[in-house]
Structure 1
Amino acid sequence: MSALLLREMEERTLHQPKRGGEDPGNGRSFLLVDENENLQVRDELDFLERLDCRAVEGVKVLSIFGNTGDGKSHTLNHCLFGGEEVFPTSPLQDSCTVGVWAAFEPALGLVALDTEGLLGASGNQNQRMRLLLKVLAVSDVVVYRTRAERLHNDMFQFLGSASSAYLRHFTRELRALSSRCGLEVPLSSLGPAIIVFQETSRTRLLGWESSTPGQGDILLQKRFHELGLSTEAFSSVQYVGTQTVSPPTDYSGLLSTLKQQVRNTATRSPRPPAIVYSVLQALSERFSGEISDEKVNLYCFFPDEYFTCSFVCLSCGVRCKNGMNHLRDNIPHLAEGLCQYAHQYNNKVLICKKCYEGGREVIVIPKTSASNENPWLGLAMYAWSGYVLECPCCGIIYRSRQYWIGNQDPESCVVRPEVKHVWPGSETFLTDHQNAAQRMLDGMNFVIQSVSDYSSGPTKAVTAWITDQVAPPYWRPNADITACSGCKKLFEEPERKHHCRACGEGFCQACSSKTMPVPERGWGSAPVRVCDFCYRQGGGGSDVPRTEPVGLMARKVTEVAQSTVDFVSTAIDYPLGFVKGVARPDYWVPDHEIQQCGHCSKALSPRMSKHHCRACGGGFCAQCSSERRPVPSRGWDHPVRVCIRCSQNKGDL
């Protein structure tokens, strides 16, 4: 009993219909490309094994198109495989073919491709339509299957649009593939042969009244011409009709025509099945990417938007006309027509007129100084004679204030203005090369830093000596203070030593943060700095003299002067920061957004110096931005500070 039940379950599993990416029926067909245009075979060997045609030297490719429910899979099964259900069929309303399925017919040497139906209610319609044209491009014979009493305009529009798109977008790619594969006849020389297979039940077939062979083909071409459509891309367009008053459908006429096309090698010869996979893979890689869910063109099955670059000029809104993924081949964006100037993108460029007349397009950029001038001399020249235009080929061609009077506009004498398109992700027109203000600040900071570095030691020594000279007699000299008298922590080089006004010992900031009046030491009634111990004791004691010590007045004057200097420095700090913010180029990251080093990720406190890389504009610590290189692409012709990453990528400077 259990054995019988197990056998019934096995048979039920074997006859259960397959869905999705599983092999249907007997497993002779398989999902080659899914509805998202993704290849479902790993490589060329996997493709040959699943087709079971590794020993076959040459094959042709047959694909079938048509509306959902017109019997495409059924036609392939009965015409090529003797009625065996190699491709799955279904009596349901939903389409049973999703994506592209493949199977091999050994008698005719055909790789049959079954496609998803047109005009079906499914998502990703734009991607599915683009997939159909890829299938058409790799096919030698295309059958358009229609089960209708009359040939509708949808079929003519589909084939006419496919022909036009094939010539515009696939010819060049197929020619390149032919060259790489070493084929004698280019794949792009002629497109596939088209067979329109119509099945009617009540109406007469096309050209039935004429006994002349091929009359249906002539009427078919006439209809294309009347609709203003071309079939130039196809090697031939044939009509095959059958009238089915009662089932089954007669496929003999279609099979006879297919055999003629397979034997015909005048336009298309059989090729190794590995070439079929290579072509399909190359087309899938080239024409891929997201497409908007909205219908691009209601009157065209294959609009250019399916196969061309999706980038749009930020200034004028014109779309790039190059093919998809052209940047992989280092081909820049290209658009037809002139662009319009946009102030925010500053997309007007100046082209050296002399080079342009010689057949070269050399862009020149206004700069503060020429590349061969000293930075400081260049700034002086900028202040005296204005900006400079320097051509890499012709040298300095213009200075804005070269003469006292009569300076001509550069556009009228040495340069040719042109408005360029602005593409997303490009910084070509966002770079400001007029960086004289920032260069001046850099020069001042360099001088200040140099003086500070060379004089830091002597300055600290002199400051300590002056402090000891004006200190009261009971203060411990700075030279004798090596550690905090409270916590015994050793003083580091930049750390400041604080004297307690009550006991005169030296303390760190944490151990001398309290203030209170110390009148017994002559400091009057105003609160002054004391250590924590004296603060708890409440003063210096009864044995402390009540008169003002000798030299205390000098110390008071020194503290007032130091407080005044600190106040003035704070008052100057805001306008100096404002000037720095205005002078810095637009591509620099603002100081308040820099929380850590862009290379080592070290946290940068507000009091630490944040160094900007002149190439990328990021913020870095001193160790990660110690290199100096010219950055002519940013207007820095002389060595300036750059980060480690930009220093290593010298090609980007």
Structure 2
Amino acid sequence: MSEMLLKEMEDVSLSQPKEEEKGRGRSFLLVDENETLQVKDEGHFLQMLGCSAGQGVKVLSIFGNTGDGKSHTLNHVLFDGDEVFITSPSPTSCTIGVWAAYDPHLGLVVLDTEGLLGASTQQNQRMRLLLKVLAVSDVAVYRTRAERLHNDLFQFLGSASAAYLKHFTPQLRALSSRCGLDVPLSNLGPAVVVFQETSRTQLLGHEGAASADILLQKRFHDLGQSTEAFSSVQYVGTQTVTPPTDYTQLRTLIRQQVKSTASRAPRQPAIVFSALQALSDRFCGEISDDRLSLCSFFPDEYFTCPSVCLSCSIRCKNGMNHQKDRVPHVADGLCQYAHQYNNKVLICKRCYEGGREVIVVPKTSASSDNPWFGLAKYAWSGYVLECPHCGIIYRSRQYWLGNQDPESSVVRPEVKHVWQGSEVFQTDHQNAAQRVLDGVSYVVQSVSEYSSGPTKAVTTWLTDQVAPSYWRPNSEVTECHGCRRPFEETERKHHCRACGEGFCQACSTRCMPVPERGWGSGPVRVCDACHRQGGPPHATPAQTEPRTLVARRVTEVAQSTLDMVSTAVDYPLCFVKGVARPDYWVPDHEILQCHQCTKAFTSSAPKHHCRACGQGVCGGCSTRRRTVPSRGWDHPVRVCDSCATHLDAQ
């Protein structure tokens, strides 16, 4: 008998936790405190809710201060007291982010939000998140446990209504159009229920002179707040002298709103997810505290583009992330000119008078000119202004006398706003110097590529013709006579003036007079071995300079002179290259590796500049040539593979 009693007691103890845990786990984190959706797609959303794709649902959300019992209210109004949403006796918030659960009896997706006075460190993101939740809701409950309705309640709902109409309505309208929803715009806002619980004071409208709903609207009006975005605003109050709280009226009103189709019809859960995802994608990103308005719960800075004009510091007035729709930045008011941004543009006057705004920029040559002929015309007639619709409208030196200023004749100047990342005003189309250098480099490269073989062969033959008789011919010198290392194809061979053998640079670094061979006027190049021995082996001093050395000495003087001229020209040419390069090109000293393949540059791997992006790339990553009109290159020029692909896609 005692064993049976102990077994029954054990069964009871095991069943109690199960009863207490009934309902736990049915809610899940939908959006975290960083405004990040925690469900991957519509299928995952349906799986977490536990409902079918064809089920028509409505959305109920709850708002209020921390510690006012929002989660507790949802559990008792909709889930018969089951702890679907976690509650805590602590005065601090136990709900972080937005949690969701599904009530199958009412076909209701329930969203539990973090308290307005929560401990979140990202207050701005949290407030914007609350408005997103409000925007996808059919019924919104504002829960307050206070003896009087405080002004914060009215300011929160009034600010939410204004922000909803101004920022969220266009997004929801576009979503309704994409999903094929025939829903009037005025009915997109949720029905709001203000639920107040008091312990000592009377409820709103208890005197009977006016209904509670009318008194609520009067309070909104007195505080200068509007509820235009909401389909209705209703009041429910309960006085709790001794617990538990009576939720009967609130439960009845919520059921009426959920079943009513006068303003909002049930929709598929996938549409709810799509709406929340669209708002999350559009209104996201960090919010700077130093630019926020303090007069509203939801200032415009929550929902507008954070970009600021670099020249005049005016904020862009477009919605957040508008560039995803390829909508450019726009700001009210005129900008101010800044020399560092050169933000004055020239607009074709004829096109402007015809209703089009076409920006023209000074260029070295017109798009129809041949590259070399265009440079010649630039030297003679100056820069050109070319409109894509009107053709060439101006040349700076078109006439010998009387050239007019373009701003007084063919173009209209205007100062534009400058936005971060914009390269419109930094673009330099005056690239005549670089085009000349490109042409010269191309000619030199072509000559060197096609003539390097014959030139080397001729040079070798000529050297052998003027060489002394004791020199080994170049054709027989295949390796260094000192270190026995084979010569590379482009490596220079040096003859020792004493023994006449061929050596590499490292094995023939010494100089000394060699009168035995007729080199008596001064030190000449010898190999290290002859330098140690003091001269060539088995040779007697020559009395006169051999006639065979005259040609060789003349050749060496000529070659030394050419080497000195080449060295003298090399530095100025590099200097000119640095000056001539356009402003958007990355300087050579900053280019350490290829921008495409990240391969490090060496002395044998030349750097090439992409004419589109200005980055330094290797030859293998810049094999294609394209026109880049936006940079002033109207004829095919070298571009990197990435820019070539981008230009082909345009």
TM-score (norm 1): 0.91
Letter in 2 for 1:531: C
SS at match of 2:316: coil
Change in 2 beyond 3 A, CA 1:36/1:576:
same
Letter in 2 for 1:569: S
Q: What does the per-residue CA deviation read over 1:79-104, in whole Å, with 9 as the maximum and x for residues that have no partner?
A: 22233322221111221111112222
Change in 2 beyond 3 A, CA 1:290/1:14:
farther
Map 1:102-121; keep pairs closer than 5 Å.
102-121=100-119
Asked if 1:567 corresponds to 2:564, the answer is: yes
Deviation at 1:334, TM superposition (A): 2.3
Q: What does the per-residue CA deviation read over 1:157-212, in whole Å, with 9 as the maximum and x for residues that have no partner?
A: 11111011111111111111112222121567430111111122222222222255
Asked if 1:634 corresponds to 2:631, the answer is: yes
Which stretch shifts more, 597-606 or 124-133?
597-606
Change in 2 beyond 3 A, CA 1:652/1:316:
farther
Letter in 1 for 2:402: G
Which stretch shifts more, 185-194 or 110-119?
185-194
Asked if 1:265 corresponds to 2:264, the answer is: no
Question: 1:183 is matched with which residue?
Answer: 181
- Conservation of the 8 A alpha-carbon contact between 2:363 and 2:385: yes
Deviation at 1:25, TM superposition (A): 5.2
Match of 2:643 among 620, 632, 646: 646
Map 1:22-33; keep pairs closer than 5 Å.
26-33=24-31
Q: What does the per-residue CA deviation read over 1:109-148, in whole Å, with 9 as the maximum and x for residues that have no partner?
A: 3222111110223211111111111110111111111111
Asked if 1:609 corresponds to 2:606, the answer is: yes
- Conservation of the 8 A alpha-carbon contact between 1:125 and 1:293: no
- Conservation of the 8 A alpha-carbon contact between 2:138 and 2:191: yes
Match of 1:161 among 159, 172, 189: 159
Q: What does the per-residue CA deviation read over 1:541-585, in whole Å, with 9 as the maximum and x for residues that have no partner?
A: 243343333233443343334333323332332222111101001
Letter in 1 for 2:362: P
Change in 2 beyond 3 A, CA 1:357/1:252:
same
CA–CA separation in structure 2 for the residues paired with 1:25 and 1:36: 27
Which stretch shifts more, 55-64 or 584-593?
55-64
Match of 2:208 among 196, 207, 210: 210
CA–CA separation in structure 1 for the residues paired with 2:25 and 2:11: 21
- Conservation of the 8 A alpha-carbon contact between 1:175 and 1:186: no
- Conservation of the 8 A alpha-carbon contact between 1:220 and 1:239: yes
Match of 2:542 among 533, 543, 546: 546
- Conservation of the 8 A alpha-carbon contact between 1:389 and 1:399: yes
Change in 2 beyond 3 A, CA 1:513/1:10:
farther
- Conservation of the 8 A alpha-carbon contact between 2:187 and 2:231: no
Asked if 1:476 corresponds to 2:472, the answer is: yes
Deviation at 1:636, TM superposition (A): 0.8
CA–CA separation in structure 2 for the residues paired with 1:182 and 1:417: 46
Number of corresponding residues: 645
CA–CA separation in structure 2 for the residues paired with 1:349 and 1:149: 63
CA–CA separation in structure 1 for the residues paired with 2:373 and 2:392: 16
Question: 1:20 is matched with which residue?
Answer: none
Change in 2 beyond 3 A, CA 1:210/1:599:
closer
Question: 1:383 is matched with which residue?
Answer: 379
- Conservation of the 8 A alpha-carbon contact between 1:178 and 1:186: no
Deviation at 1:396, TM superposition (A): 0.4
Gaps of 5+ in 1: 18-23
CA–CA separation in structure 2 for the residues paired with 1:188 and 1:573: 75
Deviation at 1:482, TM superposition (A): 3.8
Match of 1:343 among 317, 323, 339: 339
CA–CA separation in structure 1 for the residues paired with 2:198 and 2:506: 99
SS at match of 2:72: helix
Map 1:455-604; keep pairs closer than 5 Å.
455-524=451-520, 526-547=522-543, 548-604=545-601
Map 1:215-230; keep pairs closer than 5 Å.
215-230=211-226
Letter in 2 for 1:504: G
Letter in 1 for 2:253: T
Which stretch shifts more, 374-383 or 251-260?
251-260
SS at match of 1:103: strand
Deviation at 1:442, TM superposition (A): 1.6
Change in 2 beyond 3 A, CA 1:442/1:79:
same
SS at match of 1:510: coil
CA–CA separation in structure 2 for the residues paired with 1:52 and 1:457: 78
Letter in 2 for 1:129: M
Question: 2:415 is matched with which residue?
Answer: 419
Question: 2:310 is matched with which residue?
Answer: 314
Deviation at 1:295, TM superposition (A): 7.8
Letter in 2 for 1:166: Y
- Conservation of the 8 A alpha-carbon contact between 2:62 and 2:112: yes
CA–CA separation in structure 2 for the residues paired with 1:167 and 1:586: 46
Change in 2 beyond 3 A, CA 1:255/1:367:
same
Asked if 1:443 corresponds to 2:439, the answer is: yes
Change in 2 beyond 3 A, CA 1:133/1:415:
same
Deviation at 1:387, TM superposition (A): 0.8
Change in 2 beyond 3 A, CA 1:143/1:419:
same
CA–CA separation in structure 2 for the residues paired with 1:11 and 1:119: 38
- Conservation of the 8 A alpha-carbon contact between 1:178 and 1:187: no
SS at match of 2:237: strand
Question: 1:232 is matched with which residue?
Answer: 228
- Conservation of the 8 A alpha-carbon contact between 1:472 and 1:550: no
Change in 2 beyond 3 A, CA 1:277/1:462:
closer
SS at match of 1:556: helix
CA–CA separation in structure 2 for the residues paired with 1:202 and 1:643: 77
Q: What does the per-residue CA deviation read over 1:398-448, in whole Å, with 9 as the maximum and x for residues that have no partner?
A: 111212222222122211222222222222222100001111212222333
Which stretch shifts more, 88-97 or 250-259?
250-259
Change in 2 beyond 3 A, CA 1:495/1:583:
same
